[in-house]
Amino acid sequence: MHLVEISDLEVSFPQADGVVQAVRGASFHVDAGESLGIVGESGSGKSVTCMAALRLLRQPPARISASRLNVDGTDMLAADKRKLASLRGRVAAMVFQDPMTAFDPVFTIGYQIGETIRAHREATKAAARSEAEALLARVEIRNPSAVADSYPHQLSGGMLQRAMIAMALSCQPRVLFADEPTTALDVTVQAQILQLIKELQAELGMGLVMITHDLGVIAETVDRVVVMYGGRVMEEAPVDAIFDAPQHPYTVALMGSMPGLAPGRRLVEIPGGSPDPSNPPSGCPFHPRCTQADARCAAEMPPVVRTGPQAQAACWRLT
């Protein structure tokens, strides 16, 4: 059994004038100790997929369905509020794209990390507080005591992002979902934080799902890559294969024109607009921008075909 198993995940948001189809049948898995990268342009459904997997989206408005949504053996769709609360932080934790959303503005950082620890483990307030400071020091915060005493709005974006990573790691989760965890940080600190996440991953045998636009981060941090477009998984392959031999025309375009893997190098913008999630194109969502599309691509979504060991893609050209 996989640590995280997602099959045929669909997430939509009904609106007054239609339905936003954010995720349209995504499937992938993550094993313990493994790092999975999720890439794809803005709006492709990366964040929504991860938030849905951890049941962090409010329902309603979100509508979630899947043939399988398992995290560490728990059926996340069947889990009730209590079960979800006991899993959060301890089994699965998430580092959010916007660090402000992770913290409650009315409590100090130290209090919030401490309470996360105390939610899952017997610890005095004082013990939890000093553990919080130790965690802050581990994410390279130089004055952990002062930061622990600060309220979220008193910290810079980069500092908050580090504090959020400390909080996410505070209960040693079995799997960490990290959504652009280092974007607000400068390159040196980014490297330190990624190093820390990798160390903890090895130490705890933690599974890692990393959403990023940064090709350097993908190359250095992940074992396998899932490429999303228009709410669908276009391709999935081991990281070397994604760079050396991308199979899907979208992946080829996304990885295109990279002279090297300098840190901070971002994925390429592809000409044309991304699909409207309230009115997605028929067939393959990439067909309107694909240089190799034909009539079949516009008519029918291609099946997922195996393209190598642990690799698959959804493209008519590969069938």
Ligand X SMILES: Nc1ncnc2c1ncn2[C@@H]1O[C@H](COP(=O)(O)OP(=O)(O)OP(=O)(O)O)[C@@H](O)[C@H]1O
Residue ranges in contact with Mg ion by CB under 5 A: 47, 97
CB atoms within 10 A of CB 243: 17
Residue 148 or residue 176: which is nearer to ligand X going by CB?
176
Least separation in angstroms between residue 232's CB and Mg ion is: 16
Nearest CA to 24 out of 58, 66, 55 is that of 66
Of 4, 36, 48, 76, which lies in the binding site for ligand X, with binding defined by CB under 6 A? 48
Provide CB contacts within 8 A for 232, sequence distance 6+.
24, 25, 26, 45, 285, 301, 314
The binder of 277, among ligand X, Mg ion, none, by C-beta within 5 to 8 A per type, is ligand X
Piece of the chain touching ligand X by CB under 6 A; list 45-53, 136-144, 237-245, 248-256: 45-53
Of 1, 16, 17, 42, which lies in the binding site for ligand X, with binding defined by CB under 6 A? 42
Least separation in angstroms between residue 44's CB and ligand X is: 4
Residue 97 or residue 182: which is nearer to Mg ion going by CB?
97
Question: Rounded to whole angstroms, how far apart are CA atoms 217 and 246?
Answer: 18
User: According to CB under 6 A, which residues from 248 to 287 bind ligand X?
Assistant: 277
Per CB under 6 A, does 47 bind ligand X? Answer: yes
Per CB under 6 A, does 43 bind ligand X? Answer: yes
Query: Tokens standing for 73?
Result: 């053996």
User: According to CB under 6 A, which residues from 84 to 123 bind ligand X?
Assistant: 97
Give φ, ψ of 230 to 5 degrees. 55, 40
Provide CB contacts within 8 A for 300, sequence distance 6+.
283, 316
The binder of 44, among Mg ion, ligand X, none, by C-beta within 5 to 8 A per type, is ligand X
> 73 to each of 76, 79, 230, how far by Cα in Å?
9, 11, 29
Of 9, 25, 27, 46, which lies in the binding site for ligand X, with binding defined by CB under 6 A? 46
Question: Rounded to whole angstroms, how far apart are CA atoms 116 and 118?
Answer: 5
Least separation in angstroms between residue 275's CB and ligand X is: 9
Nearest CA to 131 out of 123, 142, 140, 120 is that of 123
Piece of the chain touching ligand X by CB under 6 A; list 44-52, 142-150, 154-162, 242-250: 44-52
Of 3, 4, 9, 20, which lies in the binding site for ligand X, with binding defined by CB under 6 A? 20
